[in-house]
Amino acid sequence: MDLILNSNPIAIFVFIWLSIYFVLTIAISIYKYLSITALYLQEKRSLKSLMKNKMLTTKSILTSCDASSIYSVCRLETLKNSTSGLSFLSMISSTAPFIGLFGTIVSILETFKSLGSAKFVSLNLLAPSISEALVVTAVGIFVAIPAYSMHILLSRKINTYMSTIDQQIEILKTLKK
């Protein structure tokens, strides 16, 4: 904590920015994981019902679609709703390391600036500044890893969810013939 409080203003700004990114990553990840899991389980039950009883459950997304011509519209709307937030996770995972790198560059420039005005250069003067710079980079990478991992995990869950909806659509189209 002392390292952050003694940092230059740009490094502090970068720490705050990356902290916000981290909190948003956790919040989006938990919300999307829970909501997509619930929707998938709902559609899985509906698929089983459709295969046994030739009827959708009332909680299925497809109950609002009464004609096969609008199944594709319902599917696209469902896909749009289920993927909201994933672009933000992707953006966080790709920009967080660069934000950390920006903080590193500024910290190293500050170090060289202070070295230029010092009469004697020692490792005691250089090491804390380099350490600060590397911590900012590490924080950027630390934020990017869960964002990237959750983006991949959620994308896979959404694909499974959409596959269940596609299976139901195919069965419904067959039943209407």
Provide the 10 A C-beta neighbour count for residue 115.
Answer: 12
Q: What is the pLDDT of residues 12-24, one digit of tens each?
A: 899 999 999 999 9
Q: What is the pLDDT of residues 117-167, one digit of tens each?
A: 767 777 777 777 788 788 889 999 999 999 999 999 999 999 999 999 999
pTM: 0.83
The two structure tokens encoding residue 76? 């696209």
Distance CA 70, CA 80 (A): 15
Cα dist from 15 to 26, 107, 128, whole Å: 16, 12, 17
Asked if residue 30 has pLDDT above 90, the reply is yes
Cβ atoms of residues 103 and 140 within 8 Å: yes
Average pLDDT over residues 5-34: 91
Which position has the higher pLDDT, 136 or 7?
Answer: 136
Question: What sign results for the dihedral spanned by CA atoms 174, 158, 156, 84?
Answer: positive
Asked if residue 2 has pLDDT above 90, the reply is no
Residue 55's region, left for phi above 0, alpha for psi from -120 to 50, else beta, is: beta
> Residue 1 — pLDDT band, cuts 50, 70, 90?
low
Phi/psi of residue 81, each to 5°? -65, -40
Cβ atoms of residues 85 and 32 within 8 Å: yes
Q: What is the model's pLDDT at position 28?
A: 97
Cβ atoms of residues 150 and 89 within 8 Å: yes
Q: What is the pLDDT of residues 59-69, one digit of tens each?
A: 888 887 766 66
Q: What is the model's pLDDT at position 146?
A: 97
Q: What is the pLDDT of residues 74-126, one digit of tens each?
A: 889 999 999 999 999 999 999 999 999 999 898 888 888 877 776 777 777 77
